[in-house]
Every structure is written in C-alpha cells, then in structure tokens.
Amino acid sequence: MRKSLTILSCLLLLSSITMAQNNGAYAIYNGKGKKTSYKKMMKALANQQLIFFGELHNNPISHWLQYEVTTELGKAKKLTLGAEMIEADNQDELDDYLKGKIDQKGLDTLARLWNNHKTDYKPLVDYARDNDLNFIATNIPRRYASMVNKQGLEVLNSLTNKEKSWIAPLPFPYDANLPRYQNILEMMGDHGSPRLVMAQASKDATMAHFIARRIEENGMFIHYNGAYHSDYHEGILWYINQYKPGLSILTISTVQQADITKLDSEYLGQADFIICVDEDMTKTY
C-alpha cells in the first residue's frame, strides 16, 4: 500500500511539473495577442447583449469553459442560450425537454442530437431547463444545407412554407467574397465549390435569423458554435449585422498550440478573446 502511494505521489509530482512547464492546460488572450485572465474576460462579457462562444467541437476545455462562463453570467443576467448543434426543426422537442414533458431518452429518440451531446452539450441544456431559460435550436436542418451544397441556394425556394420556417427568410443576403468564405475554397482546394460556400452561408444566415428573433431587449444571448462560424466577426456576425444591427457583441474562439505561452500570430484578431489550449489535451471524441 505504501509503495503504491509513493508511486502515485511521484506520478502526481511529474504531472504537476509537466503542467507547470507548459503553463497549464490553456491560456486566454485578447484579440491583439495579449495574455489576459478569466476574470478580465468575464468582466468584459458581463456588459454584452450577445456572446458567441466559438468552440473546437471535440475540445473539453471549450465545453468546460462554456459551462463555467454561462453559469457565472447567469448569476446576474437573464440568459437566452442557443446552439448550432441543435437544428431548428427540433425546437419543439427541445422545448418539451426543457418543460419536463419528455426525458433525455425521449429527446434522444425524437431529436437529431450530435453524438457528443450527452458529454458536451447536455450540461448546458440542463442548465437552461433547471433555471427556466430559453434554449434556441438555431441551425438549419442539415438536409437543407446538403441540398444547397448539391444544387445551390435556389433549391431552398422549393421547400414548403413549413420547411421554410426552419431557415432564414428567403432570399437572404449572400456575399461569396467575404474573406472567410473565400478561405473555405482555399482550404478545400479541388474539393471546394461555390455551392459549398452557399451551404455555409445558409447555416450562418439561419443561425443569425433565430438569434435576432429570440434575443431579448434587456437580456443576454449566449450562442455556442464551431469557431469558424464566428471567427473574425464574420459568418453569423455578418448576418446579425444585416438582421439586427447595433447589438453589443463579443466573441470567443478556441485554438490549439504546442506552446500556449504565446499566441501564434496567425490567430491575432480571430476573436475578442481567444482560448489557447495545449494541443496534447485529450479529445471528447
């Protein structure tokens, strides 16, 4: 027993030394690359109407901080929560869960939840349920985004009125020359196409539409999405400025680096606050 405790102590010491050398599991930077604190970030977030928390979908630090930020802000503000990870045509099922009409098994059966919902998003949904908060399913149904990727934006005109209620009103603004949309084509190379960018825009427009529609005058809306959808104040934010200009907005993004003691220059300006995570951090899937 004593030998086992000694081994465990040594392992914990080695772990502590390793973490100290790497300056912890994550660090927070402002958009200019200056290291800042969680406390200072929270002070800035506290005065906003709309916060975009851009995540890396399989990064546990992203998900942990989403919950920490949300519950802390919820102590002083009436929150509305929303997420890319639940599609607009599942809002009724989500509402039934929030109201206690169905349990988690029912939600799993009736809604198209992501595979990592239970570990990464359920805590946020349950926080909304337990505190009588609205949680908005903001994303376009993926089958419609897939249709756009294959046939272009015009295909959305063929949807029924009911189906159109789950997407941004048509025709929605579209600018293929936005830098982040152009970057998609560069990243995808031969696999990219103008229709792929249109599909991305259909998601951004729909998320912005439902955020703009459900944000409350004196409250705060926190939206969880893949970082690309809100990085550089483009994507969803471009559409928010079309639908509901003048909101006070701050963005958070998540990146990974081998050395988190200094933010790589490629991430400067990516968001108002950038969570820089050690690239060796375990993944949620």
Sequential DSSP letters for 38-97: HHHHHHHHTT-SEEEEEE-TT-HHHHHHHHHHHHHHTTTS-EEEEEEEEEGGGHHHHHHH
Phi, psi of 71 (to 5 degrees): -70, -35
> In the CATH scheme, what is the code of domain 24-278?
3.40.50.11550
Which residues are paired to 251 by β-bridges? Answer: 52
Tokens of 14: 């080695």
Give me the residues paired with residue 136 across strands.
82
Q: How far apart are CA 145 and CA 199, in angstroms?
A: 5
| Intra-chain end-to-end CA distance of the chain, in Å | 35
The average pLDDT across 181-210 equals 90
Q: What's the pLDDT tens digit per position in 159-171?
A: 999 999 999 999 9
E strands in the chain: 26-30, 35-36, 50-55, 79-87, 134-139, 220-226, 249-257, 273-278
The enclosing H or E element of 202 equals helix 194-214
Q: Read off the pLDDT of residues 38-89 as tens digits, 9 standing for 90 and up.
A: 999 999 999 999 999 999 999 999 999 999 999 999 999 999 999 999 999 9
Cut 0.85: pTM above it: yes
Task: Write out pLDDT tens, residues 244-273.
Answer: 999 999 999 999 999 999 999 999 999 999
